[in-house]
Amino acid sequence: MMKSLVVVVLGAATAMISDKTVSNAQSKSAVEKRAFGKTPEGTAIDLYVLKNKNGVEANVITFGAALVSLKTPDRSGSIADVVLGYKDIDGYVNDKAYLGATVGRYANRIANGKFTLEGKTYQVPKNDGNNSLHGGSKGFNKRVWTAHDVSSAKGPAVRFTYLSSDGEEGYPGNLKVNVTYSLSNDNALRIEYAATTDKSTVVNLTNHAYFNLAGEGRGGDMLRHELTLHADRFTPIDSTLIPTGDLRAVKSTPFDFTSATPIGARIDQDDEQLKFGKGYDHNWALNGGKGTAPVLAAEVYEPESGRLLQILTTEPGIQFYSGNFLDGSIHGKSGMPYNHRSAFCLETQHFPDSPNHPNFPSTVLKPGQSFHSVTIYKFSAK
């Protein structure tokens, strides 16, 4: 009788320990929620903090499903924030540089703000000269998203959802969008995009994070960062930054980053494409193309800190923007001005103006289809 009792008690204790272990694991993986102020309309904005065991931390907000900060260690273990951002909601409400934002319904440019789909021509806002940029006058970066903690044993995660209504910014179809940020213990921030529509439409989603691996707001430029792009071709542009439709080899041009090269090595060369972009503001056609599994698209190394950023994606292209229009007028979360070329963007995407170029990978999404895309930012130091 005593032996049976001991077995029962021990079994119950084991179950309690097991439940406690699971509870602790779930607690460690859960995200922390904080208030981040209110929009001018009075809508409360929340900030979610994702942390891993190595001290890497990502902060994201419900306004624009934006990445506010991303803290990672250097080779000595010192933590620094490596993305540009604002200290409060007012900065994001007034932002015109898309700092850290989720961009859509159509990321990048559409020529003349116009495209034809299934025989019907659609006009979307011209908010970049004669072109439409990043979804129009009030794209996804200016919308309030709904957030859900979807953390698991793999780590902390938050999913943002938004319904872009039929006709919003001129685009057809009710588009249901999910953007999920998750952080792993191998220092990888994963962004997963998913969307469905009830009417044929075009979709191109990306994140517009600005990186400086030496640390945000340090005052200097990022031209010593060494960039590798796994792309043998890029899409040349005209003077309004719209692709010509060609795919041009990067070999023997300032656009050849097939081996690690300082960003500033050729940025001021006498080259028509560089003049059009005032530096780099171009799309590269990735060698891996669009697949179901993320492949290595880009690597950036900052020699002073030793930080290395590797970008993997399922997308066919990546827009490299060298911060050419940063001019010091924006003061970020550290209080420092964001000066000319103080940060860079590597926006995984479909090609700009794809709806008007049948030879580019298609961005058309039809009812019954699902849009799915994954981009991973993986950090290390050496």
Distance CA 49, CA 289 (A): 33
Distance CA 320, CA 342 (A): 14
Residue 71: phi, psi to the nearest 5? -100, 130
For tokens 């957030």, the residue is 147
The active-site residue, picked from 282, 347, 350, 357, is 347
5 three-class SS:
helix
Q: In the chain, where does DSSP find H-type helix?
A: 2-29, 89-94, 272-277
Q: For residue 128, give the nearest of 239, 247, 282, 205 by alpha carbon.
A: 239
Strand partners, 298: 229, 311
Cα 154 to Cα 51, 60, 78, 112, 197, distances in angstroms: 12, 18, 25, 44, 30
Strand partners, 308: 301, 380
Half-sphere exposure of 378 (CA within 13 A, CB side): 15
Distance CA 190, CA 210 (A): 16
Assigned token pair, 199 = 């009417």
Q: Is 225 one of the annotated active-site residues of the chain?
A: no
Question: Does a cis peptide bond (omega within 30 degrees of 0) precede residue 75?
Answer: no
Distance CA 115, CA 199 (A): 15
Distance CA 351, CA 35 (A): 36
Q: Give 181-184 contacts, CB < 8 A, sequence gap 24+.
A: 181/50, 181/58, 181/60, 181/67, 181/157, 182/50, 182/150, 182/154, 182/155, 182/156, 182/157, 182/158, 183/50, 183/51, 183/52, 183/56, 183/58, 183/155, 183/156, 183/157, 184/52, 184/154, 184/155
Q: Is 169 one of the annotated active-site residues of the chain?
A: no
The active-site residue, picked from 134, 208, 282, 357, is 208
Q: For residue 195, give the nearest of 183, 177, 217, 208 by alpha carbon.
A: 177
Active site residues: 208, 347
